[in-house]
Structure 1
């Protein structure tokens, strides 16, 4: 396994790991960016699929371990978030032959970055992307706590919740359609077991800063009219990101292929992995990326 490399940009330290391609014919680089509360190792089950198509770059989401926000006292804006994420992409992958893959907050980032830098991005896969605030539900309390200088309460609560037995299982259970079936899958069991030590290193204050930024964010004006070839995949039973938000993006973006997965929640790439990979492969083949896999 290749070593993890680090890149500093202004108030951010972002890391990445490169996984070599198994396809000598392809020059494509697949940059994978996880969602809110993701950490290193988030794409473990999906990386072998992308390696059949090109070089894979596993890139931190801004502020998510091993990434760091160096000064947590500085307010984070959507512009800074996108600039930091984009510069980390150029640092790790160059500025050509790039396919962006993102989930949730990462899905939001790849949509916006492709719109801002269309000449550098060949295509995009956005999985259950966050589109705009405000944050809904109990997490809104964390946002308000940070704004009223009570973020330490969220920090304590996050650390306490993370320390509970099988806390990560509960998090995935909330986001998937069929929790029982999901957790009985041997590959998922092994993935969560290996992933937990990375998840346990998340910095509560950093992810709260991202959450507060998301509460104010709206990428609709950025992505409107974007013509970079884009595949949007989402579950029909996603309890995290409202379907109507994503539909609005699908309708106002001219070069989008939208695929909805029945009986599927927020984690399409894990819940329906084989089907999701088939859909992605068909999308990539239509864009003439060489493949060693048979459809």
Structure 2
């Protein structure tokens, strides 16, 4: 039976989600998965079966990312609105208590901040290569500046043109992983990307740009400082997207953190080192209590 996608509207945002049943009716965990910047429906396809071993899995849009929509592009997006919209979507799809949050990159940022703001509702967090604070670096900064100068249409055009380059999505993943040849040689990755392309083609460039502009101004360090919700942070030692020093600062200042770094791994830990990452997550999810410690894998 195909899972039914449901829709939820909160102020300027339409957000959707899909519920995947637990592997057994006896499993009562509620696990919410949130992707990163430029992720779309189907992003967690390879990981969902693993999480179903622990309970019901809810694949939730990152706001502004297809099928989610930002309804009015004239309103500037703030970090507060971003977190409020994402949090209210979580309550809508998973209830308001004992929730496990799993997020990657921008989704990882959201899970850390929401757990800190609502510790009574969140049981535990798995944050993969989380974005911590701006400014946005590299060529993407041009898109941020263009939106602020009201010439975001040029980013829209460039995004659409870039998306039409043959195997553009492959190039995007290649930039973020440690060993591109090895990554793309895996049959499951080839199948994943082939299935993912049609969904990715629906990504609205203006929505993505609005999120990027918000990230340029964002800083979750004051929010998460001292948060005691049990948290697993996983990141690659060779991540070209998120500076390791940013994540290390969160790891040092947050109680109850288990921090695991993966050697010869880039930004997509859950895809690049899927088996090893699932072993680490299994240990975390089955532990009686998460304690603050650091390890290497």
TM-score range, shorter-chain basis?
over 0.9
- Does 2:145 align with 1:180? no
Give the 5 Å matches for 1:243-258. 243-258=244-259
- Does 2:74 align with 1:73? yes
Deviations 1:101-150 (A, max 9, x none): 00000000000000000000000000000000000000000000000001
Inter-partner Cα distance in structure 2 for 1:288 and 1:191: 34
- Does 2:152 align with 1:151? yes
Q: Which residue of 2 aligns with 1:261?
A: 262
Contact map agreement 1:27 1:97 (CA 8 A) in 2: no
Q: Which residue of 2 aligns with 1:34?
A: 35
Deviations 1:87-109 (A, max 9, x none): 00000000122100000000000
Q: Which residue of 2 aligns with 1:292?
A: none
Partner of 2:184, secondary structure, is: helix
Give the 5 Å matches for 1:109-258. 109-258=110-259
Inter-partner Cα distance in structure 2 for 1:129 and 1:288: 22
Deviations 1:63-107 (A, max 9, x none): 000000000110000000000000000000001221000000000
Inter-partner Cα distance in structure 1 for 2:159 and 2:108: 24
Task: Give TM-score scaled by structure 2 length.
Answer: 0.96
Deviations 1:247-278 (A, max 9, x none): 00000001100000000000000000000000
Task: Give TM-score scaled by structure 1 length.
Answer: 0.97
Contact map agreement 2:12 2:71 (CA 8 A) in 1: yes
Aligned residues, how many?
289
Inter-partner Cα distance in structure 1 for 2:168 and 2:130: 24
1:288 is displaced (CA, Å) by 7.3
Inter-partner Cα distance in structure 1 for 2:178 and 2:21: 33
Partner of 2:239, secondary structure, is: coil
Contact map agreement 1:128 1:266 (CA 8 A) in 2: yes
Inter-partner Cα distance in structure 2 for 1:13 and 1:245: 31
Inter-partner Cα distance in structure 2 for 1:115 and 1:148: 34
Q: Which 5+ residue runs of structure 2 have no aligned equivalent?
A: 291-297
Inter-partner Cα distance in structure 2 for 1:244 and 1:26: 37
Contact map agreement 2:129 2:234 (CA 8 A) in 1: yes
1:50 is displaced (CA, Å) by 0.4
Partner of 1:75, secondary structure, is: coil
Which consecutive aligned stretches of 4+ in structure 1 deviate over 6 angstroms post-superposition? none
1:2 is displaced (CA, Å) by 1.5
Specify which structure has the bigger relative contact order, considering alpha-carbon pairs within 8 angstroms and separated by 6 or more residues.
1
Taking only aligned residues, the RMSD between alpha carbons, in angstroms, comes to 1.0
